[in-house]
């Protein structure tokens, strides 16, 4: 498998995550044991984190790399500002 998955690979993972979330909803509706529900929630969060990591990696390897290699200082600064904004969001979130 390609080291850097395509967006299609991420979509497949997100569809799987969507199914996991529906499963968590059913568990809550069926009054399943709280720890079992929490374990499923942690699995969903982990799966989302993996998708996030892959998309961020792809962004760095494509968009950011192109901007750095390019001649536009404005585009370089824009990419850096985007990354800094993401970092600040993750610290607050």
Residue 50 pLDDT greater than 90, yes or no: yes
Q: Which pLDDT belongs to residue 7?
A: 86
Q: Which domain holds residue 14?
A: 7-92
Q: Tell me if 1 is assigned to some domain.
A: no
In the chain, the percentage of residues whose pLDDT exceeds 70 is 94
Q: Tell me if 80 is assigned to some domain.
A: yes
Domain count, the chain: 1
Report which of 55, 40, 62 is spatially closest to residue 86, judged by C-alpha positions. 55
Q: Tell me if 20 is assigned to some domain.
A: yes
Q: What is the per-residue burial (b if ≥16 Cβ within 10 Å, else e) of 38-62?
A: eebeeebeebeeebeebeeebeeee
Residue 68: band (very low, low, confident or very high) from pLDDT cuts 50, 70, 90: confident
Residue 83 pLDDT greater than 80, yes or no: yes
For residues 20 and 4, the model is more confident at 20
């Amino acid at each position: 498998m390609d080291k850097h998955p395509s967006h299609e690979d991420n979509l497949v993972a997100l569809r799987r995550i969507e199914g996991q979330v529906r499963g968590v909803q059913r568990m809550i509706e069926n009054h399943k044991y709280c720890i079992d529900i929490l374990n499923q929630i942690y699995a969903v969060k982990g799966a989302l984190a993996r998708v996030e990591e892959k998309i961020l990696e792809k962004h760095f390897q494509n968009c950011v790399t192109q901007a750095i290699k390019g001649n536009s200082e404005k585009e370089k600064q824009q990419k850096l500002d985007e990354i800094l904004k993401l970092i600040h969001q993750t610290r607050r979130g």
